[in-house]
Amino acid sequence: MHVTSPVREPLVQGGKTYADVTEDICRHVEGAPTKEWKIAFGISLLVLGYGSYCLAWTWWEGLGVWGLNKTVGWAWDITNFVWWVGIGHAGTLISAILLLFRQKWRTSINRAAEAMTIFAVLAAASFILMHMGRPWMAYWALPLPNAFGSLWVNFNSPLVWDVFAISTYFSVSLVFWYIGLIPDLATIRDRATSKVSRLMYGLFAMGWDGSAKTWSRYEYISLILAGLSTPLVLSVHTIVSMDFATSVIPGWHTTIFPPYFVAGAIFSGFAMVQNLMLITRVVYRLEDYITLEHIETMNKVITLTGSVVGVAYITEFFIAWYSGVEYEYYAFFNRMTGPYWWAYWAMMTCNVISPQLFWSRKLRRSITFTFFISVIVNIGMWFERFVIIVTSLHRDYLPSSWAMFSPTMYDIGDYLFSFGLFFTLFLLFSKYLPVINMAEVKAVIRSTSAELPKKIAGVAKVRHDLNNVGQRVPSYDKDKE
């Protein structure tokens, strides 16, 4: 049995009934696209179009169009890849890890966060194809015997692990997300008035009927998928960090990388979820579902992971000095005071100082401030990857080959491509699919809503009266867990 303290704020406000939930969340799916949506979609398409042009030229002409040189052979491509993969960690964290921890506040945001994960991983994957230079050779990364002889890929290489990790992560997240969508697609199918939408939503709802048997299987596989995704999400960024950590470049060859990368990924992912949710809740009038409590809770996660990242930066620096390896020490000293000092200090300010401001409850609950800090955090996390990658490479063991990196318009254009792709997909999702998981929200409103629906209004009243005299009563124990 589950007892919630009545002093806790309700997860969904406004005393919603089951029918209200359906109505509020289906409204934007069923209505015509709004003007704001059309404008945003138009801008995304323009960005995507320009990015596609730059990408096409990159592939046509070769990677020489980027600002890379002999010393800095990896720069924005991998920076952007790691940045997007990191952002793609929050969705699965919210839907899987918080499911295992029985954090019910996740029900209002998990759908959109998972969608964000999938699109962010797609954006990241586009950089894998880009930095290959010859994307038609991408199948070389797969375990196929070479030239139909018998030399295979090297399974000892973290780059090969990455191929498996990213593709598994993407497809398992997609499946997890789709399974969660099915009951809601069925709701839209059953409400549909036009033939086309009944057919389309019906096709994807796969004949869902919501029987007790189906639900019990559904809950079972959701739990197993969550159990699988939890170590999966941790493994993905661990393996991404090993791309660097298993090399012998000073500044990369660090055992702290896996936990530090995972914390950073969750940090930036939550910041991106905040950015998207703060806009979505206003545009679709979902303030009752995505409440200040949700925003505050996510800000707490941002502060926690931001602090982990900060401690990692300092540890890394300390170890560089303590190890006594002069190359290691120089790499870090160069980050701080070398020609890329501004990138290092931008990273430190954005990632270490800014999340600490959320210790103030007032700032944590301010929507404008949260939005601002989330943007800052994402900028900071981009700089983190830039600092790790470019400043570790640009001054190697041989001073005569020291160089600087400066991006060309194709570096920037290819980065814009990923933004265009991400926002185009996210906007399509937010128009044609329910942005909140209706079935899951319906299952939690009764145990958490401020005013319970009429049938058991008596319980609500008793609870309310007792609250007023300061007594704690067990809340309505709807969900036996």
Partner 1 sequence: MAELTGKYLVGVYDDDDTVLHAVPKLRKAGVKIEEVYSPFPIHGMDEALGHPRTRIGIAAFMFGLTGCICALTLMCWTMGVDWPMIIGGKDPISFPNFIPITFELTVLFTAFGMVTTFFISNGMGPGTHFHPRFDLRSTDNKFIMAINMGSNAMSEDEISRALRDSGAEEINIKQF
C-beta neighbour count of 145 within 10 angstroms: 10
Q: Which of residues 459-478 bind partner 1 (CB under 8 A)?
A: 478
- Select 65 or 186, whichever has its Cβ closest to partner 1: 186
Least Cβ distance, residue 146 to partner 1 (angstroms): 9
Q: Which of 246, 456, 275, 267 is nearest to 380 (CA)?
A: 267
The whole-angstrom separation of Cα 263 and Cα 312 is 9
Does residue number 85 form part of the binding site for partner 1 (CB under 8 A)? no
The residue behind tokens 């809770």 is: 297
* Least Cβ distance, residue 194 to partner 1 (angstroms): 15
Binding range to partner 1, per CB under 8 A, among 75-83, 87-95, 222-230, 338-346: 222-230
Closest CA to 435 of 427, 445, 446: 427
Residue 203 binds partner 1, judged by CB under 8 A = yes
* Subset of 104-123 contacting partner 1 (CB under 8 A): none
* Nearest distance from C-beta of residue 218 to partner 1, angstroms: 7
Say what the alpha-carbon torsion angle 418, 421, 426, 427 is, to the nearest 10 degrees. Answer: 130
Q: How far is the CB of 18 from partner 1 (least distance, A)?
A: 4
Q: Measured from the CB of residue 384, what is the shortest distance to partner 1 in angstroms?
A: 23
Residue from 136, 468, 469, 481 in contact with partner 1 (CB under 8 A)? 481
CB atoms < 10 A from the CB of 29, how many?
A: 21
Q: Please, what is the angle between helix 18-30 and helix 158-191, to 10°?
A: 110
In 10 A of CB 363, how many CB atoms? 15
From 100, 353, 456, 462, residue interacting with partner 1 (rule: CB under 8 A): 456
x-or-dash pattern for partner 1, window 299-318, by CB under 8 A?
--------------------
| DSSP, res 33 | P
What letter would DSSP give residue 34?
P
Would you call 167 exposed, middle or buried from its count of C-beta atoms within 10 A (0-12, 13-18, 19+)? middle
Using CB under 8 A, which residues numbered 248 to 277 contact partner 1?
Answer: none
Q: Can you tell me which of 63, 132, 141, 228 binds partner 1, judged by CB under 8 A?
A: 228
Residue type, 422: F
- What residues contact residue 172 under an 8 Å CB cut-off, 6+ apart? 225, 228, 229, 232
Burial class (CB in 10 A: 0-12, 13-18, 19+), 77: buried
Residue number with CB closer to partner 1 (2 or 134): 2
Q: Does 99 bind partner 1 (CB under 8 A)?
A: no
Residue whose token pair is 């814009």: 416
Q: Does 221 bind partner 1 (CB under 8 A)?
A: yes
Q: Which is nearer to partner 1, 191 or 300 (CB)?
A: 191
What distance, in Å, lies between the first and last C-alpha atoms of the chain? 6
Question: Binding residue for partner 1 (CB under 8 A) from 4, 69, 197, 235?
Answer: 235
3-state secondary structure 38-57: HHHHHHHHHHHHHHHHHHHH
Torsion angle (degrees, nearest 10) of CA 351, 352, 356, 357 = -60
- Give φ, ψ of 89 to 5 degrees: -95, -20
Stretch that binds partner 1, among 75-83, 143-151, 344-352, 406-414 (CB under 8 A): 143-151
Whole-number Å distance between alpha carbons of 405 and 73: 9
For CA atoms 253, 256, 258, 263, the dihedral sign is negative
**Chain residues 2-41 in contact with partner 1, contact rule CB under 8 A:** 17-19, 22
Looking at 37, 50, 57, 215, which residue binds partner 1 (CB under 8 A)? 215
CB nearer partner 1, residue 19 or residue 56: 19
Stretch that binds partner 1, among 51-59, 109-117, 189-197, 395-403 (CB under 8 A): 189-197
- Per-residue x/- track, 424-453, partner 1 (CB under 8 A): --------------xxx-xx--x-------
Amino acid identity at 447:
S
Task: Work out the angle between the directed axes of helices 341-348 and 367-386 (0-180°, nearest 10).
Answer: 140
Does 91 bind partner 1 (CB under 8 A)? Our answer is: no
Smallest distance, partner 1 to C-beta of residue 139, A: 16
CB of 214 to partner 1, least distance (A): 5
Q: Residues 384 to 423: which contact partner 1 by CB under 8 A? A: none
Which pairs from 360-363 meet CB under 8 Å and 24+ separation? 361/296
Pattern 147-186, binding to partner 1, x per CB under 8 A?
---xxx-xxx-x-xx--xx--x--xx--xx--x---x--x
Stretch that binds partner 1, among 57-65, 187-195, 301-309, 467-475 (CB under 8 A): 187-195
How many binding residues for partner 1 (CB under 8 A)? 68
Of 362 and 455, nearer to partner 1 (C-beta) is 455
Contact residues: partner 1, CB under 8 A: 17-19, 22, 143, 145, 150-152, 154-156, 158, 160-161, 164-165, 168, 171-172, 175-176, 179, 183, 186-187, 189-191, 202-203, 205-221, 224-225, 228-229, 231-232, 235, 239, 438-440, 442-443, 446, 455-456, 478-481
